[in-house]
Structure 1
Amino acid sequence: MLTGSLVALVTPMDVNGEIDFPTLRKLVDWHIEQGTNGIVAVGTTGESPTVDVEEHIAIVRAVVEQAAGRVPVIAGTGANSTREAIHLSNKALEVGASFGLSVVPYYNKPTQNGLYQHFKSIAENTALPTLLYNVPGRTACDLSNETALKLAELPNIVGIKDATGNLERAAELVKNAPKNFAIYSGDDASTLPFILIGGHGTISVTANIAPKAMSEMCAAAAAGNIAKARAINDTLQGVHRHLFIEANPIPVKWALEKMGKIQAGIRLPLTRLSENAQPTLLTAMNEAGIH
């Protein structure tokens, strides 16, 4: 089972919004050097809503090629169209992804039965192992624990990213899920307690700018070294919070730009971090020793 800190990787772009593949490859190398345990390519943090299918698969291919087997690559394969999600899953498998991360369908608000049938259809029509992704704050649709646990019984549904930030729900998943079903936090601020109650790791936005710290914090928490894990997490609390001062990935792309890691590119309808928000995030970065 894949454990630890998995980065929800941004998609670097130039000032015109074109994908910057050389920088993408450099980010992959940097994350591996810093101890990141897995890389999520073209998830929602990677601006999946604004890249077309050809770009989407090209990004996954580039990340797989650059990772070269050093860490697993999880491809964002979600869509609010079941057919599109299946297509993306099969294409990601073709270019070498190890897993797919499939978000709860957004906007069309299916019933729990619709969600079950959606993910069941994906599982039955691709050989790519699939992780569920529940983020009701962004999708306007909540995958219930009951439905998630029912899906966990399917052979090709292998885990879930739970971005609810609700530790009571997480504890229920940990208690009742099959032993080999991976449960990841999708909320950086609650990742530490999430792991301490039995979660297997995190799919993290913070790891974009603090990969070593997130990896070490997850490892310490999993090993039961609460003092070390808490000390690391304490330095990151401001970053966890203020990376969402505007809609993700606006703040994290600005932070990476300030660090000299990427160019100032982002696609509409997202825009560069507002000037009023920049000092707040910069202060949090400085407090965490991120430069």
Structure 2
Amino acid sequence: MKEPLFTGSGVAIVTPFTKETVDIAALRRLIDFQLENHTDAIIVCGTTGEASTMSYRERMRTVEFCVEYVDGRVPVIAGSGSNSTENAVALSRDAERAGADGLLVVTPYYNKATQKGLVRHYQVIADAVHVPVILYDVPSRTGVAMAPETYAILAEHPNINGVKEASGNFSNIQKTRSLCADDLFIWSGNDDEAAAICMLGGKGVISVVANILPREMHDLIQLCLSNDFAAAGQLQLELKDFCDAMFCEVNPIPVKTALNLLGFDVGPLRLPLCEPTEASLARLRKVLSDYHLPVLS
């Protein structure tokens, strides 16, 4: 019987950069902030971590540092997806060697694989490792969506633990739950859908907003897991404006900008991502102020 890799709020943590490379000292401060505020898992080198602009060496060093520094206090899950199955296998094996507790593997972008191709892609990756694999369905970024029937096939693999669902397709999510039950666990990949997905049996969220509001996202999921959906729904509504602001431009532009506004000094975005517009910057300043967070002048 499968057990979820984690339950609760896992942060899709940003990667702090200097002009040249990963800022390990700043990453240490971010991890401290997360653990002090009860984040339930650290997801490193994902979309929010700008992994697609990092060198192979940078990615592995970042995973290794997170594993060493977290030291078993919560699971560390490494992003290891690629649009090349061979590259995804190499990334996944190296992340496992680095000590990652699990892997987050996005659907292969640009290729627009068929459902048959997606099954083969994920089975090859899962066969190559011994740690749990979380699938990642985010069609708005990849151009391909996972079908519930595809999930049902992949759920038969002992190393495939679940899916980060960011499709926004609640009909498919319900069908997936019906087909897979607890052979495939579901985490929300959209902060503003976390409570709703938990109500359908989800195990939590892999969160962008938790970079800034880790305790609130942890508390939201704990309310869900305690079946207090009235209180969870109220908190979800209270977080709605904040969630929307964190996606006023493509992730991770807003959240990384917000962290810098709060003094976390996470450095620049890497091209092709760039600084937000003046209108977005003003919106971020306002929402941080509205939530009583200490914005730098």
TM interval, short-chain normalised? over 0.9
Q: Does 1:8 align with 2:4?
A: no
Q: Does 1:58 align with 2:61?
A: yes
TM-superposed deviation, 1:259: 1.0
Distance, in Å, in 2 between the alignment partners of 1:113 and 1:17 is 41
TM-superposed deviation, 1:180: 4.4
Who is 1:115 aligned against? 118
Among 121, 144, 147, the residue aligned to 1:144: 147
Q: Does 1:247 align with 2:263?
A: no
Q: Does 1:86 align with 2:89?
A: yes
Q: Does 1:273 align with 2:282?
A: no
Summarize the Cα distance change of 1:51–1:251 in structure 2 as closer, same or farther, 3 Å threshold: same
TM-superposed deviation, 1:178: 4.2
Distance, in Å, in 2 between the alignment partners of 1:82 and 1:241 is 33
Task: Check the 8 A contact 2:37/2:214 in 1, yes or no.
Answer: yes
Task: Check the 8 A contact 2:249/2:276 in 1, yes or no.
Answer: yes
Distance, in Å, in 2 between the alignment partners of 1:273 and 1:230 is 31
Summarize the Cα distance change of 1:17–1:170 in structure 2 as closer, same or farther, 3 Å threshold: farther
Distance, in Å, in 1 between the alignment partners of 2:187 and 2:287 is 25
Q: Deviations over 1:69-118 (max 9, x none)?
A: 00000000100000110101111111110000000000111111111100
Who is 1:212 aligned against? 215
Among 173, 176, 182, the residue aligned to 2:176: 173
Distance, in Å, in 1 between the alignment partners of 2:201 and 2:260 is 35
Distance, in Å, in 1 between the alignment partners of 2:184 and 2:227 is 21
Distance, in Å, in 1 between the alignment partners of 2:233 and 2:205 is 15
Task: Check the 8 A contact 1:13/1:20 in 2, yes or no.
Answer: yes
Who is 1:284 aligned against? 287
Segments of structure 1 that go 5 or more residues without pairing to the other structure are none
Query: Secondary structure at 1:132's aligned position in 2?
Result: strand
Moved more, 275-284 or 88-97: 275-284
Letter of the aligned partner of 1:81 in structure 2? S
Residues 216-231 of structure 1: pairs in structure 2 closer than 5 A: 216-231=219-234
Query: Secondary structure at 2:136's aligned position in 1?
Result: strand
Q: Does 1:238 align with 2:241?
A: yes
Letter of the aligned partner of 2:268 in structure 1? G
Task: Check the 8 A contact 1:17/1:265 in 2, yes or no.
Answer: no
Among 32, 38, 42, the residue aligned to 1:35: 38
Moved more, 172-181 or 97-106: 172-181
Letter of the aligned partner of 2:235 in structure 1? I
Q: Deviations over 1:240-282 (max 9, x none)?
A: 1121111100000001011111233111111112222111122
Query: Secondary structure at 1:71's aligned position in 2?
Result: coil
Who is 2:190 aligned against? 187
Distance, in Å, in 1 between the alignment partners of 2:262 and 2:110 is 35
Query: Secondary structure at 1:279's aligned position in 2?
Result: helix
Task: Check the 8 A contact 2:148/2:179 in 1, yes or no.
Answer: no
Distance, in Å, in 1 between the alignment partners of 2:16 and 2:265 is 6
Root mean square deviation, CA, Å: 1.3
Distance, in Å, in 2 between the alignment partners of 1:181 and 1:74 is 17
Distance, in Å, in 1 between the alignment partners of 2:245 and 2:178 is 31
TM-score normalised according to structure 1 size:
0.96
Task: Check the 8 A contact 2:107/2:118 in 1, yes or no.
Answer: yes
TM-superposed deviation, 1:25: 1.2
Query: Secondary structure at 1:13's aligned position in 2?
Result: coil
Residues 97-112 of structure 1: pairs in structure 2 closer than 5 A: 97-112=100-115
Distance, in Å, in 2 between the alignment partners of 1:178 and 1:227 is 24
Task: Check the 8 A contact 1:99/1:129 in 2, yes or no.
Answer: yes
Task: Check the 8 A contact 2:79/2:103 in 1, yes or no.
Answer: yes
